[in-house]
Chain A
Amino acid sequence: MSAPTTNPFDLVGLDWTHVSPRLTAARLTVVALWLAPFVVAGAVVAALTGATWVWAVPAVLVLVMVWIAWLVPRQVGALRYAEREDDLLIRRGIMFRSLVVVPYGRMQYVDVAAGPLDRQFGIASVQLHTAAPATRATISGLPPAEAARLRDRLASRGEARLAGL
């Protein structure tokens, strides 16, 4: 077994841009909104029944929340992208790492989406679509101005390098 000395995902000569840390807050809010009611309900049931073992339910849920609160910032920190002359690179993941290279000329269309919560936190996501559905090229957590800039840039570059299928 050889211990990797350098990260193979760090392609040389690349300037990676991180997404906004507000994505962490947005994702944690979603998780909290889902899990908090169950924690409260579990705690209420435990308090009413008085049995000690029932406290295990909210306790486990709280542990899960703590784990997620530890995980999400790392995930968001791992999400980054880089624009090159002819393609866009997107990296994600800590445990299961992946890197996608999308040539501008291969882009079919670009989606910019922002849900209500995203808007509250001032972020948007940009998704690139190629003719291959397997292309997972979504950049979440971009500030709206950056998302718009990226969209326009991708569109103009895609047009300049447009190729057939």
Chain B
Amino acid sequence: MTATGPTEPTPASAAVSAPHGPAQPAPVTPERLGEDEYAWRRMHPATPLLSGWKVLVAVLAVASVQAGDQLAQMVREFGATGWLIVLGIAVAVVVVGLAYSFLAWRVTRFAVTDEAVHLRKGLVFRQQRQARLDRLQAVDVVQPLLARLVGLSELRLEVAGGSGSAVQLAFLREAEAESLRSELLALAAGLRRPSAAAVPLVEGLAPVDATSAPAGAPAVPLPGVGSRAVGVTAAAGSEPFAAAPEQPVYEVPMGRLIGSIVRSGGAVWVVLLVVGVTVVMVTTRDIGSIFFLLPAALGVFGLVWGRINGGATFRAAISPDGIRLRHGLTEARSQTLPPGRVQAVGLRQPLLWRGKDWWRVVINVAGYSGDDANGQANETVLHPVATRDEALLALWLVLPDLGVDDPRAVVSAALTGIGDDVGFTASPRRARWVDPIGWRRHGVLVTDRALLLRSGRFWRSLDVVPHERTQSLGMEQGPVQRRLGVASLVVHSTPGPVSPRVRHLDEAVCAALLDEQAERARRARRTAGPEQWMRRGDAG
């Protein structure tokens, strides 16, 4: 086992440029400077197959649609030879695609140091990404259907850099992804590696240089190359960080999930759609009209499927590393949210869920942009459909201490209450001129630890923002509000489904609240635990 030599050529050229020695240093590209002593690791060799197949299917589908006529004509003209040509083209596309994926896999590698995760990728446009572990917001292990079948996972590290800033390590062996996650979380928590065993090398993870380092490269890092040199001589299979123990908290029964979808707005649309189509078909006696509704039907189906897929087998657990969420039917996702990473919590109740007293719990986490590639924001859901008790439990996961004596009574009042019960500051009566229905629901409660913002008469909603997570604050007032002497308080949070605000408070109250809240947020930040959560005094 050797360290990557400082004179290793760039990965893409490693295969072609063979003899390099210390006497004849390879050109050092700026982005590689000073990082050669890291223990670079590769993704699983099956990655090109798994990541390439989607591209291949897409290319073949487009080609068959675009050039289908020509192909059909060719087949007609040449007979059996035509089939061979078509087959040949298809094979060529597959081979080129796989070759590209393979080359991309060859240059993709990552390394974990005590401070950061480094990722290098890109065949044509080289990209190098360094994610600081103390800025880690969440770690997800994602398994798309195909990868799940062959036992591979993708590790996704979220840092608070907006959408597209995640570091994606795809694909790794399942066990390897799990152990890497434990390691990253432990490092991010502020624990340090035992100095003897440095980088755990799990089998199947060949060190990079075993395949690509040139023969003459030095076996050990040259002295003085870097002070942060990481030892890479750990015994294979040794695991310095065991996975943190976890305690299950709640899970979502499939029956309730389906019930919640039946009672959702999407289901209402489906019913309306079916009724509408039936009426049209009966009156016009024309089956063709059904096709006009196909796009809408597909959209609704996608929405419903997204809800089922994301919410199925939803389980939450608590561990020293934070909140663990596992869910997904075809694509399994296992999220870990370290303590203090949730910026805001929102509890929502659509109109039709009132009878069952069900709640949807959503969260803002910096780095989760709120819309992934499929347009489904499954990652920002803390509980897809919670009973009252579970909603309280979910809130407790994020905020163990709400800063009130009787959290149950307070949250219950916040969820369904109106006016100024349990100490809420509500809109004054004159606010009915701007919001005749909802004015009694608008309200805000300040506790020692968080701000509770309540709104919505029919679509009930409660937002909870811990004081130390307040980014900035705002007060807004339109012309009508000014006449009535009311103003809205806005709490700015990171991007996500929760955008906390409370409308139509008395303007003097609102201004005082703004002033106090700025001071409270500052005090809370000062006493809040460090980013590296294991380093705080009362580790929990």
Which A residues fall within an 8 A CB radius of B?
1-4, 6, 8-9, 11, 86-87, 95-103, 105-106, 130-137, 163-165
| Cβ–Cβ contact A8 & B510, under 8 A | yes
**Which of B340, B366, B482, B483 touches A97 (beta carbons < 8 Å)?**
B482
Min CB distance, B70 to chain A, in Å? Answer: 48
* Given known A-B contacts A163-B525, A163-B528, A165-B366, A9 and B475 have beta carbons under 8 A apart: yes
Q: A99 contacts which of B470, B474, B478, B494 (Cβ < 8 Å)?
A: B474
Q: Is B447 an interface residue (CB 8 A)?
A: no
Query: Which residues of B are found within 8 Å of A101, using beta-carbon distances?
Result: 472-474, 514, 518
Main secondary structure of the interface of A (DSSP, over half): loop
Give every chain B residue within 8 A of A6 (Cβ-Cβ): 508
Q: Are A1 and B475 in contact (CB under 8 A)?
A: no
Q: How far is the CA of A87 from the CA of B474 in the complex (A)?
A: 12
List chain B residues, Cβ under 8 A from A102: 472
Judge if B273 is at the interface, Cβ distance under 8 Å. no
Nearest A residue to B529 via CB reads A164
Q: Does B476 make an interface contact (CB < 8 A)?
A: yes
Find out whether the CB atom of B484 lies under 8 angstroms from the CB atom of A131.
no
CB-defined contacts of B135 to chain A, threshold 8 Å = 164-165
Q: Are A134 and B479 within 8 A (Cβ)?
A: no
- CB contacts (< 8 Å) of B474 on chain A: these are 98-101, 134-136
Q: Is the CB of B137 within 8 A of A96?
A: no
B483 partner residues in chain A, CB cutoff 8 A: 1
Residues of A close to B473: CB separation below 8 A: 100-101
A96 near B522 with CB under 8 A, answer no
| Chain A CB within 10 A, most for which of B430, B510, B511, B528 | B511
B144 within 8 A of A: no
Return chain B residues, CB-CB under 8 Å to A100: 472-474
Q: Are A165 and B137 in contact (CB under 8 A)?
A: yes
Binds A, one of B82-90, B171-179, B412-420, B485-493: B485-493
Q: Please report the C-alpha to C-alpha distance between residue A99 and residue B489 in the assembled complex, in whole angstroms.
A: 10
- Which chain B residues lie closer than 8 Å to A9 at the CB level? 475, 477, 511
**Residue from the list A95, A130, A135, A136 in contact with B478, Cβ < 8 A:** A95
Complex Cα gap A60–B388 (Å): 59
A165-B472 contact, Cβ under 8 Å, with A8-B487, A87-B518, A95-B478: no
CA gap between A1 and B128 in the complex, in Å: 61
The listed residue (B160, B492, B528) touching A135 by CB distance below 8 A is: B492
- Tell me whether B490 and A134 are in contact (CB under 8 A): yes
Known: A103-B521, A132-B493. A165 touches B343 (CB 8 A): yes
B495 adjacent to chain A (CB < 8 Å): yes
B484 touches A1 (CB 8 A): yes
On chain B, the number of residues with a Cβ less than 8 Å from chain A's Cβ atoms is 44
**B160–A131 touching, CB < 8 Å:** yes
Q: Does B471 contact A (CB under 8 A)?
A: yes
Task: Indicate which residue in B430, B472, B492 contacts A1 across the interface (CB closer than 8 Å).
Answer: B430
A97 touches B492 (CB 8 A): no
Task: Tell me the bound Cα distance from A105 to B341 in angstroms.
Answer: 17
Query: Once the chains bind, are A134 and B511 in contact (CB under 8 Å)?
Result: no
Nearest CB of chain B from residue A53's CB, rounded to whole Å: 34
| Known contacts A2-B430, A98-B477, A165-B494; A103 and B472 CB within 8 A of each other | yes
Provide the residues of chain A in CB contact with B343, threshold 8 Å.
165
A-B contact pairs, 13 of them (CB 8 A): A1-B483, A6-B508, A9-B477, A11-B515, A98-B474, A98-B475, A98-B476, A98-B477, A99-B476, A102-B472, A103-B472, A103-B521, A165-B137
Most buried by B among A3, A99, A133: A99
Mark out the residues of chain B between 494 and 510 whose CB falls within 8 Å of any chain A CB in the assembled complex.
494-495, 499, 507-508, 510
Report if B531 contacts A (CB, 8 A).
Answer: yes
Q: Which residues of B contact A99 (CB under 8 A)?
A: 474-476, 514
Provide the bound-state CA to CA distance between A106 and B521, in Å.
Answer: 11
Contact present for B525 and A105 (CB under 8 Å): yes
Return chain B residues, CB-CB under 8 Å to A1: 430, 483-485
B475 and A96 contact, CB distance less than 8 A: no
Report which of B137, B479, B492, B531 forms a contact with A130, defined as CB distance below 8 A: B492
A38 to chain B, nearest CB (A): 29
In the bound complex, do residue A133 and residue B495 qualify as a contact, i.e. CB atoms below 8 Å apart? yes
Q: How far apart sit A10 and B362, CA to CA, in the bound complex (Å)?
A: 35
Residues from chain A with a CB closer than 8 A to the CB of B430 are 1-2
**A residues less than 8 Å from B487 (CB atoms):** 8
Chain A residues, Cβ within 8 Å of B490: 134
From B366, which residue of chain A is reached at the shortest CB distance?
A: A165
Q: How far is the CB of A71 from chain B (nearest CB, A)?
A: 14
CA distance A106 to B517 in the complex (A): 14
A165 to B529, CA, bound (A): 12
User: CB-nearest residue of chain A relative to B521?
Assistant: A103
What's the Cα separation between A165 and B477 when bound, in Å?
28
CA–CA, A11 and B476, complex, Å: 14
Across the interface, name the chain B residue whose C-beta is closest to A136. Answer: B474
Q: Do the beta carbons of B472 and A106 come within 8 Å of each other?
A: yes
Cβ of A136: which chain B residues have Cβ within 8 Å of it?
Answer: 474
Cβ contacts under 8 Å, B528 to chain A: 163
Residues of A within 8 A of B469 (CB): 165
Q: Do A130 and B511 touch (CB < 8 A)? A: no
B166 to chain A, nearest CB (A): 15
Residue of B nearest to A13 (CB): B515
Complex interface residues of chain B between 306 and 322 (CB less than 8 A to chain A): none
A120–B475 CA distance with the chains assembled, in angstroms: 34
CA distance A1 to B481 in the complex (A): 11
In Å, the complex CA distance between A101 and B474 comes to: 6
A97: which B residues are within 8 A, CB to CB?
Answer: 476-477, 482
Q: How far is the CA of A102 from the CA of B482 in the complex (A)?
A: 24
Identify the closest chain A residue to B509 (Cβ): A8
A116 vs B239: C-alpha distance when bound (angstroms):
59
A59 to B190, CA, bound (A): 69
* Docked-complex contact A132 and B511, CB < 8 angstroms: no
CA distance A105 to B483 in the complex (A): 35
CA distance A96 to B474 in the complex (A): 13
Q: Which of B366, B485, B508 contacts A131 (CB 8 A)?
A: B366
Write the nearest CB–CB distance from B486 to chain A, whole angstroms.
Answer: 10
A96 vs B508: C-alpha distance when bound (angstroms): 17
Additional A-B contacts beyond A103-B472, A165-B494 (19; CB < 8 A): A1-B483, A4-B482, A8-B511, A9-B477, A95-B479, A96-B476, A96-B478, A99-B514, A100-B473, A101-B473, A101-B518, A102-B472, A131-B366, A132-B493, A133-B495, A134-B492, A163-B525, A165-B160, A165-B366
